[in-house]
Structure 1
């Protein structure tokens, strides 16, 4: 089963969602139609369908002239990631056929995550920039990130809706390892608390390591 089949999205609707996910700003029906080379009615049909299932958010644009302002659409945190679909399918396969067969899959995943995090870290980064640089790395890899003081909130995970739910604990272990490996390899002596997994938002807290 492909990722688009798993989420009930045909090729056309998946293209619309992929466009929303790549855009830094909400898009109008007209913009989507032009970018994808389709009729406005077709673009509106797919956008409204995505909104109905919670994968897109629609809101009226700020009025600039008289008349009804256009609706703007953006991808929600519930939307499955449509970027690099083949890679997500490969990850799902590896989690199912390789890691899940191990009795210690979470520990294996965490160790792999630590190596990943260590490879991303730059030991020469000043201590006061370590957490900011880590946040940038996470955002570049498809995570929605919000900082609230020392808390780091994951408002979107690129795997939450793209991976078999039974395999998500392994993915979470990998991500915990990524945080720990990054901090261990950095010069800032920071520590990331265990990730608190929530139904919509996951949270970890940064603090300096005890001497």
Structure 2
């Protein structure tokens, strides 16, 4: 099923794989095959697509016994071993563009938020924009408005999984960028087309 936005997870299979890795990292291809019911070659192709987008990282298992070490896959969270080189490069580029824009188009409110928080927001808006989302950030309320939700018509169970994956991706971007800002959750709404994500400052 084709979906707009986040082209790397534009199929239900990749959403399932990423959701599985966000729930429990360090999975092998065999485990992901069992989880999804997909053929190993198909899982490999999906993992490569997710890794190319900076959403999945791979690590070779450390073994103390004989045998070929396995490759373990995890969702990119921006933390230590789960940091993606692709995501790091994207975050640095977004911060540089953001700094340039703020120099060229000075805002009367500039400086209201610390530089590291602004760089986190730069990275987040850049990542969402690359995925087809027109994000509106309220820097005072620390919200990200993604309304109208492109997934409002999807079955509630599938939408819940997809929202969880998207929130995990957003948190990964913020963590990779560094700084105190994190995802706090989605604001409740009666209208399924309304999607507003609440961010929060977390103490160091």
What is the TM-score when the length of structure 2 is the normalising length?
A: 0.45
Which entry has the higher C-alpha Rg, 1 or 2?
1
